[in-house]
Structure 1
Amino acid sequence: MKFEFENSYEVSDKIREKKIAVLPVGAVEAHGPHLPLSTDNILAEEMAGKLAKRVDAFVLPTLPYGQVWSLRNFPGSINVSNESLISILYDIGHSIHRQGFSSFVMMNGHLGNSTALKEAARKLFDEIPDLKVYYFFYPGMKEYAEEVRENNAAHGTYFHACEIETSYMLYLSPDQVNMDKAVRDIPDISLAADVTPTPWETFTDSAVLGDATLADDSKGEYILEKVLDNMVDILTQNEGAAK
């Protein structure tokens, strides 16, 4: 259920019933010629909706801006700092706890947000120990992606507008994908990129890290449904957080 469409007179009873709030957290950034700037928002929203149905949770309005330092110089990218993200996530966590939620799930659609989500969760854990806080970014996906990918990953951690992320979009939001414009761009990313600040324009002109032409909705479905199973298992096994 979408929290934003509730009204103040009825929502308190529903919060007591559901207990779990899922916040999609995305970004606005370059995703090559075939995917929209809002790809990470779309993926976070769609995954949040699927998870909410399976654990009977509320989906909060999307937090649409993320830390996109690496891609900030590409046309269309909008960057916010880790500090800003931590602050707003911390404030949202306090607020939903005050409203009566017992679990706060941050559904992350953008790798660059991971540090901020983790730090916000730690702050909330220290101050509100009875609020369960989770930060999900496709848990277990690396194993499942290796089972279906046809091309080697460009990087051990990054996946961006590539075979995998484009497959996610083809499964969750195919109308927003233009496969006629999909490209194959497998950049040479040096080890230094993992240990020193490295803007992505130094190794890619397209912002695509892989072969997007190999994307297929069945690959996206296979990976994401298994990821959803993992999230449900985590929630249901962690002290009965989900019903």
Structure 2
Amino acid sequence: MNFALENSFEIGNKITKSSIVIMPIGAVEAHGPHLPLCTDTILAERLACRLAEKVAGFVLPAISYGQVWSLRDFPGSISISNETLIRLLVEIGTSLYKQGFRIWAMVNGHLGNQIALKEAARILYDQFPDFKIFYFFYPGMNKVVNEIRETETIHSVYFHACEIETSIMLYLAEEYVDMSRAICDIPNIDEEADVSPTPWKTFTQTAVLGDATKATKEKGKIIVETALNKMAYMLRRAQNEAI
């Protein structure tokens, strides 16, 4: 259900019937030559809509800007601070709680946002202990990715415009992928990048972290459906516990 297309006369009663609200959160940043700048937002929106169908929840308009410090030097990247994102999320969450929602799922398409989402959820938990908040980023994906990927991972956490993210895009939003321009870029990411501020320009000029040419829709389906099932299970359990 698209929250923004509801009307004020009917929405109050509908909230009492479905206490789950889902918000996609993305970013505007470089994703190589084959994917658009808004890739993370597109993925978050598509995931959120599919999740809403599974749990009969509302989907909020997406937040399309995120914390993009690592990629801010690339053409097209637009970054906001963690502090700005945290404050925005806390204020949106407070409003949702006052409207009557008791379960809020933030579906994140950009790993750089995760710290802000977690902090906002903690602040809201301290204010409203009965407000169940999730900050999802493809839960359950690590296990299946290790089983289906053809190329070795270049980092224990990062995946970006590579075999994995491009596969997800092919499954959820193939119309925005230009595989004729997909490239292979295997950067060497020094371990110092995990313990010191490191702009990605220091190890990649393309913003592609891996071999995007190995991406397939079939791989994307496995990753997405795994994450959707995990998210739906947790939301249904939270809903049952709230009854």
TM-score range, shorter chain: over 0.9
For the residues of structure 1 that align with 2:161 and 2:241, how far apart are their CA atoms? 33
Structure 2 residue matching 1:104: 3-state secondary structure:
strand
| Cα deviation digits, residues 177-223 of structure 1 (max 9, x gap) | 00000000010000000000000000000000000000000000011
- Cα shift at 1:237: 2.3
1:165 corresponds to: 165
Distance 1:242 1:144, change over 3 A: farther
Letter matched to residue 121 of structure 1: A
Contact residue 66 and residue 110 of structure 1 kept, 8 A: yes
Distance 1:110 1:128, change over 3 A: same
For the residues of structure 2 that align with 1:17 and 1:144, how far apart are their CA atoms? 35
For the residues of structure 1 that align with 2:145 and 2:46, how far apart are their CA atoms? 19
Letter matched to residue 106 of structure 1: M
For the residues of structure 2 that align with 1:123 and 1:144, how far apart are their CA atoms? 32
Structure 2, unmatched stretches of 5+, are none
For the residues of structure 2 that align with 1:219 and 1:193, how far apart are their CA atoms? 28
1:49 corresponds to: 49
Q: Map of 1:77-116 to 2, 5 A cutoff?
A: 77-116=77-116
2:60 corresponds to: 60
1:197 corresponds to: 197
For the residues of structure 2 that align with 1:41 and 1:7, how far apart are their CA atoms? 25
1:148 corresponds to: 148
| Cα deviation digits, residues 17-68 of structure 1 (max 9, x gap) | 1111101000000000000000000000000001100000000000000000
Structure 1 residue matching 2:188: 3-state secondary structure:
coil
Contact residue 103 and residue 238 of structure 2 kept, 8 A: no
Contact residue 235 and residue 241 of structure 1 kept, 8 A: no
Q: Which moved more, 1:215-224 or 1:230-239?
A: 230-239
Structure 2 residue matching 1:9: 3-state secondary structure:
helix
Q: Map of 1:204-243 to 2, 5 A cutoff?
A: 204-238=204-238, 240=240
Structure 1, unmatched stretches of 5+, are none
| Cα deviation digits, residues 83-130 of structure 1 (max 9, x gap) | 000000000100011111111110000000000000000000000011
- Cα shift at 1:238: 3.1
Contact residue 103 and residue 239 of structure 2 kept, 8 A: no
Over the aligned positions, Cα root-mean-square deviation in angstroms equals: 1.1
- Counting aligned pairs with the same residue, the percent is 57
TM-score (norm 1): 0.98
For the residues of structure 1 that align with 2:54 and 2:67, how far apart are their CA atoms? 29
Contact residue 34 and residue 181 of structure 2 kept, 8 A: yes
